[in-house]
Amino acid sequence: MAKKRSAGKQNSQAANLGFEAKLWLTADKLRNNMDAAEYKHVVLGLIFLKYISDAFEERHQKLLAEVGEGADPEDPDEYRVTATKLR
């Protein structure tokens, strides 16, 4: 039984490595002949976009859970952070 688990784990690791290698090759194609100093601005923008997307999704889920308490996930004001909310 343990052999089956370790074999399955190795297969999933191999699949992840294949995906990572493909992702790396795709990034190289997108970068093309761009200097790394310029490319970092693209990457940092994408990282920021991912952070904002995750923060929005977390807040949206919290508002959905609080609908019974009067929260409105469709109200843009619900997503604005004020100094009082940070405390």
pLDDT in tens, 34-67: 777 887 887 888 899 999 999 999 999 999 999 9
**How confident is the model over 4-41, as pLDDT tens digits?**
554 555 555 555 667 788 888 887 787 777 777 887 88
Which of 37, 38, 56, 59 has the alpha carbon at shortest distance from 48?
A: 56
CB neighbours of 24 closer than 8 A, spacing ≥ 6?
A: none
The pTM score is: 0.54
